[in-house]
Structure 1
Amino acid sequence: MNNITSKKTNRPLVLSALVIAMFMAAIEGTIVATAMPNIVGDLGGFSYYSWVFSAFLLMQAVTTLIYGKLSDLFGRKPIFVFGVIIFLIGSFLCGIATTMTMLVIFRIIQGIGAGAIHPIVTTIVGDMYTMEERAKVQGYLASVWGISSVLGPLAGGFIIQYVDWAWIFWMNIPLGIIGIFGVVLFLHEEVTTEKKSIDYIGSSLSFITISSLIIVLVQGGVAWSWISPQILLLLTTFIISLILFIWQEKRTIAPMMPLHLWKNKLITIANLATLTSGMIIIGLSSFLPTYVQTVMGHSAIVAGFTLCTLSVGWPIAATIAGHLVLKIGFRPTAILGGTFLLIGGILFLFLDPTKGPIYAGFSSFVVGIGMGLSSTTFIVSIQNSVSWKIRGVATSLNMFMRIIGSALGAAILGGVLNTRLQQVLVKNSTVVGGNLELSSPDVLLDETARNTLSPEVLDILSNSLNQGLHAVFIGLFIIAVITFTITIFFPNLKGNS
């Protein structure tokens, strides 16, 4: 508990403020997704639809590591307050956007602030609590994400129906102010007054490296071909800036990301498993609702239920993990989490339309259990194995790996779906005497258009999407096997508290 003066710090009130701030950032993803059809209807600019999410993700990814390092240099409180203020400014501006271009720009500002919230909140909890307490409290924080996943769509739907979509963003302002005041008034930390050395070159190179990679993952195979000049230029930029970043971090006195962290087996294993589990989560979030609606033929509400169970299993298991790591240790708990992820991957491997949404929902719940057990174990073990001086950047690095995993998973699994779908549609085009394209299955999501299709075409499109999404589930199973294998190498914890 270095640098936190426990006698002055009111831990319950600070934790309450942190939970509110975490909830504000966590609910933003699901609540905006619910409102997007209305926002597009109001502002137009459908071509920018994906960038409303991508811009936020990009800036969150590139700033997470920077904020982690700054919190180690200047303390958690000022960096947390700065991040929340930027997030609130972005939220206010999003609410007054009059064009989709403006909304994307303001989402960039929001993302710059969001990069601080999750890692700094998690780091402050690591500072305030002992090793025994840490695991339990991290479980509570995981519950925030589960609750926000359930409440997000409901709150979004309520706001769209009864108020105005701008309040999707403006509702953050009172929550953020409460979070700021709670931390400013009740968190007391001691930060050394020695001269701070900031790695400006490393920060700039990391910004360029991560930005170019994220844009490639978001745009590749969608807006631009994988061998287009834009993608090739960005990949070249990524490789060169990554080499320069590593060179800079080796030579500088105060590196933005201490490379010795990667020499720590525990941190490396935890981060690799976090990367692959991030791919699993984005895969389910992106493709399971579509499968339930188009292939199984159920409503959006039923599709939401099958994903909602993941959000229920995660916080339950995260809370249990807090007790397990104290009773059986970090390594067995991590392997148990990997085992549940593997079981979930097997269940989705055997998913077919006849098994119905209950089977899909149960499979999601099992994956949620695996995520809760593993993610809590990883973050707490990382915080326990490093000192206060690098706890911020070590925590942020783990958060960053999940963001990269999500972007990587969306790109890879999206590519798998499109490739398999294209193969099946080309094969079946001759059967119906017409050209079936990748966009053809879109009509399955439109009930009116769906009813105009002949039974033969409807069956072909549904079967094509079934095969395409099954290929995605095979990919998820392979990633789950890799994640489980990684957890086997997780070491027994030996380090600081």
Structure 2
Amino acid sequence: MTYKDLKKDLLIVGILVSFLTPFVRSSINLALPAIANEFNSSAVFLTGITTVYLLINAILYIPFGRIGDIYGRKRIFQYGLFIFTISSFISAFSISEEMFMVTRIFQAIGNAMIFANLNAMISSAFPASERGRAFGLTAMGVFVGLVVGPILGGAITGIIGWRTLFYLDTVIGIAATFAITRFKHDWIDAEGEKLDILGSFLLGVSIISIIYGFSNFTSKYSLFLVIGGIISLSIFYLVEKRVDFPLINLDLFNSRNFTFGNITAFINYGAFVSVGFIISLYLQYLKGYDPLTAGLIVSIQSIAMIIISPFAGRLSDRINPENVSTAGMVLTTIGVAIMTLINFENALYVGGLSLIIFGAGIGLFYSSNTKVVLSSVDKQYFGIASATLSNVRSMGQIFAMGIVMLIISTLLGNAQISPLNYPELIISLRTSLIAIAILSAIGIFTSVFKD
């Protein structure tokens, strides 16, 4: 296999798996009301499905990125794809909300193994002058999954039933697994080094404590959990400064591109996942749209992402990628700000405009920010840099979903969503959008503060 063929095959696999997991996530978003009705689940359980998935990813991204550096990025990537596919199949046979949640946890584990190593593999295979294009094409795979997911998710849920979604996920996963088994090359840049198990444990404990405490802020134990998480994170820092093979090389944060690139990704992805969740609830509950119609409307933003992302990737190879990512953050903020103005009378045109602007901003930001972060480190740190970026993306999504969960639970409590509490629901959704708009505006400034 020539080097050119190696890059081509890797790019094909990258696009395929980049399509798979967002397809699963976005299709399930449209199926959430149907799943809740079947299992008699509350609104808090709906947010919990998304939050737990993201939490597991946040805990495991960095350890799996480090494991990939030590034992082979392609190997861990392949194992993750296998776990993701099997758990998708089992999800179709869920008989309770508890069983469904367990299968989602295993999907999250597989996803963490995949995306902790994908960008590192691409950075290892492509020179800096070509990475923007490669990241742009894999981003396009993500956004195609986000377009197809709501449409098929809505159609299949409304016509056949939500379980069929997981049969389809299984078929796609099998195809991706077969594709990666044909890929023989691997990268092992830290062979012989050891995984920092203590650091992995401390990081996991701190993430769980902080996020769970924040997400359940009305609980009397929430403050203690947050404080405990901060203490655990401080101990993690001290451990990382002293071990021979740290989980995270803290010197990477001396680069402003690496540090502020990750901070801005935290904010951008928080806006990304929370807005999708909010709009899905708004369309199906408050506007009364069926899942298919809601899916078609939600897909507007993803179509904008598909159009913009390859262009953004090529653009970031030609001009300063920091400027491209900042422009994306500006558009993201404007899009969310316009969403706060949506009401029953203007929902069609104001909502459509805001989704287009928001999608264009995400499309500009995705590949350019990835190039900024990955190009700021030496190749021996590609694995941990890729995993760190994936981690902060999940943490940002968890943080934003925590805000949404806090607002919804405060105004609705643990009650199932019904016409009786629609007034409280619409207030909670608009308040959530205002909070996300403010967070996105902060992201503009953090994007500017790079090298």
How far does residue 124 in structure 1 lie from its aligned partner after superposition?
Answer: 1.6
2:442 is matched with 482
Q: Is the 8 A contact 1:65 1:393 kept in 2?
A: yes
Q: Which moved more, 1:239-248 or 1:101-110?
A: 101-110
Distance in structure 2 (CA, Å) of the matches to 1:440 and 1:90: 30
- Overall identity of the aligned pairs, in %: 23
Task: State the aligned residue count.
Answer: 450
Residues 201 and 101 of structure 1, relative CA distance in 2, 3 Å threshold: same
Please tell me the residue identity of whatever aligns with 1:70: I
1:60 is matched with 57
Within 5 A, what are the aligned runs for 1:24-103? 24-40=20-36, 42=38, 49-103=46-100
2:104 is matched with 107
How far does residue 417 in structure 1 lie from its aligned partner after superposition?
Answer: 5.8
2:381 is matched with 390
How far does residue 299 in structure 1 lie from its aligned partner after superposition?
Answer: 6.1
1:401 is matched with 392
How high is the TM-score relative to the length of structure 2? 0.88
2:185 is matched with 188
How far does residue 63 in structure 1 lie from its aligned partner after superposition?
Answer: 0.9
Q: Unaligned 5+ residue runs, structure 2?
A: none
Q: Which moved more, 1:287-296 or 1:262-271?
A: 287-296
Q: Is the 8 A contact 1:11 1:187 kept in 2?
A: no
Distance in structure 1 (CA, Å) of the matches to 2:294 and 2:160: 25
Residues 442 and 121 of structure 1, relative CA distance in 2, 3 Å threshold: same
Q: Which moved more, 1:28-37 or 1:397-406?
A: 28-37
The answer to whether structure 1 residue 332 and structure 2 residue 323 are counterparts is yes
How far does residue 138 in structure 1 lie from its aligned partner after superposition?
Answer: 1.1
Please tell me the residue identity of whatever aligns with 2:134: V
How far does residue 118 in structure 1 lie from its aligned partner after superposition?
Answer: 2.3
Q: 2:126 aligns with which of 121, 129, 132?
A: 129
The answer to whether structure 1 residue 139 and structure 2 residue 139 are counterparts is no
How far does residue 379 in structure 1 lie from its aligned partner after superposition?
Answer: 0.5
How far does residue 64 in structure 1 lie from its aligned partner after superposition?
Answer: 0.9
Q: 2:195 aligns with which of 184, 194, 198?
A: 198
Q: Is the 8 A contact 2:78 2:177 kept in 1?
A: yes
The answer to whether structure 1 residue 309 and structure 2 residue 305 are counterparts is no
How far does residue 388 in structure 1 lie from its aligned partner after superposition?
Answer: 2.1
Within 5 A, what are the aligned runs for 1:342-381? 342-381=333-372
Alpha-carbon displacement from aligned partner over 1:394-426 (angstroms, at most 9, x marks no partner): 11211211211111112224445666xx5xxxx
The answer to whether structure 1 residue 473 and structure 2 residue 426 are counterparts is no
The CA RMSD measured in Å over matched residues stands at 3.0
| Aligned-partner SS, 1:188 | coil
How high is the TM-score relative to the length of structure 1? 0.81
Within 5 A, what are the aligned runs for 1:285-304? 285-292=276-283, 303-304=294-295
Q: Is the 8 A contact 1:140 1:315 kept in 2?
A: no
Distance in structure 1 (CA, Å) of the matches to 2:204 and 2:415: 38
The answer to whether structure 1 residue 179 and structure 2 residue 176 are counterparts is yes
Residues 385 and 275 of structure 1, relative CA distance in 2, 3 Å threshold: same
Q: Is the 8 A contact 1:303 1:357 kept in 2?
A: no
Q: 2:259 aligns with which of 257, 262, 268?
A: 268
The answer to whether structure 1 residue 319 and structure 2 residue 310 are counterparts is yes
> Which has the larger Rg?
1
Distance in structure 1 (CA, Å) of the matches to 2:134 and 2:126: 8
Distance in structure 1 (CA, Å) of the matches to 2:172 and 2:425: 41
How far does residue 6 in structure 1 lie from its aligned partner after superposition?
Answer: 5.3
The answer to whether structure 1 residue 255 and structure 2 residue 252 are counterparts is no
Q: Is the 8 A contact 1:269 1:486 kept in 2?
A: yes
Q: Is the 8 A contact 2:19 2:143 kept in 1?
A: no
Distance in structure 1 (CA, Å) of the matches to 2:296 and 2:394: 24
Distance in structure 2 (CA, Å) of the matches to 1:130 and 1:169: 37
How far does residue 212 in structure 1 lie from its aligned partner after superposition?
Answer: 2.3
Q: Is the 8 A contact 2:29 2:280 kept in 1?
A: no
